[in-house]
Amino acid sequence: MTDSEQQLQALALSVGQARQSAGCATVPAAATMLDIPNLGDEARQGDCLVSMLASGSKGNAAFFQCGNTRVLIDAGISCRRIENGLKRYGCTLNELDAVFITHEHTDHVNGLATLLKRTHMPVYTTLETWQAIGRKVEDFTERFVRLPRRLVLKDLQVEPFSISHDAARPVGYTLYHGNCKMTLATDLGFVSPEVMQAASYADILVLEANHDEEMLKNGPYPYRLQQRILGARGHLSNTAAAKLLAAIPSKGMMRVLLAHRSEKNNTPALSLHTVRSVLSRSGKVVGQDIVLRLACQHGQVRFQDGGNT
Ligand SMILES: [Zn+2]
Ligand SMILES: [Zn+2]
């Protein structure tokens, strides 16, 4: 058994323990990840790459490289970590064309001021989000570009869409490059028609699978925080993400990165197990219609190829 397989088996075993300690029903023995291909934190289609440099409540940053265009969505980790993440792809901070921000929560903007200080690129977001970020970025007002409904940036067309979350005016993003459609939808309380439309026919979809509802309800979070996460302006559960994947139309194979996973109220194996179960009931075949990958809090952890770099 390789190192990566051992890691996977340990994670699969941890599911039962996590759910038992949370007072949940035991996950069936089928909840193993060993037969799920292509685990990792990146997805490619043609000359498009989507890489989650980090994903979760401690920090988020997604790197998109499409032809000659390179952008970030969110800068919730340190500028140094972003720089190190980009190195994997031979990209430097100054080769980024823009940074797009989804909303003002710290886990999405923590590294933004330093990133803007060290680069010359514009930052796109809604006016309400920019104002809510506030003093952290007051020295960079001239770099702020208010999001239009649609914009073209070199080889990319970018379309923001509204999401329901407890922030000033949060958005997700759809990016088009040639025939490739890429959508990022994290930090959302429920799947609105706009989110459905943004996810439909995506070649690459970054989708929140934040928590297992039973683990959350039986877990360590105080009641009010549980209600916030479960609410319409909170976060998307594994089951809600799975139902979206089961319902949306696709071109063929859709590459899905499950993202913004809670470290307290979810596990990698449990989110995969839930999504696989719902998908199999819907008739979609994992590995054929949908390729699932896991975005991790520390983007360098990759289970696919045995590399722990
Ligand atoms: Zn977040
Ligand atoms: Zn948030």
273 and 308 Cβ atoms separated by less than 8 Å: no
Higher pLDDT, 27 or 41: 41
**Burial class for 82, CB neighbours closer than 10 Å (0-12, 13-18, 19+):** buried
pLDDT given for residue 36 in this prediction: 38
Q: pLDDT tens digits, residue range 166-190? A: 999 999 999 999 999 999 999 999 9
What is the distance in A from the centroid of ligand 1 to the CA of 61?
10
The number of CA neighbours under 13 Å toward the Cβ of 49 is 19
Whether residue 109 has pLDDT greater than 50: yes
Environment of ion ligand 2 (residues, CB < 5 A): 105, 187
Q: What is the topology classification, in CATH, of domain 3-294?
A: Metallo-beta-lactamase; Chain A (3.60.15)
The number of CA neighbours under 13 Å toward the Cβ of 70 is 14
Distances (CA, A) of 276 to 35, 174, 266: 11, 25, 15
**Which pair of structure tokens corresponds to residue 233?**
């302006």
Give the pTM.
0.86
Q: DSSP strand E in the chain: where? A: 42-45, 48-54, 61-66, 69-73, 98-100, 123-125, 144-146, 151-153, 156-162, 171-177, 180-185, 204-208, 254-259, 290-294
What is the distance in A from the centroid of ligand 2 to the CA of 273?
25
What is the distance in A from the centroid of ligand 1 to the CA of 107?
5
Beta bridge partners of 161: 172
Ligand nearest to the CA of 208: 1
Distance, CA of 62 to CA of 82 (rounded, Å): 9
- Say which range, 22-26, 89-93, 234-238, 254-258, has the weakest mean pLDDT: 22-26
Q: pLDDT tens digits, residue range 257-302? A: 999 999 999 999 999 999 999 999 999 999 999 999 999 887 543 3
pLDDT given for residue 299 in this prediction: 58
Distance, CA of 75 to CA of 84 (rounded, Å): 13
What is the distance in A from the centroid of ligand 1 to the CA of 188?
9
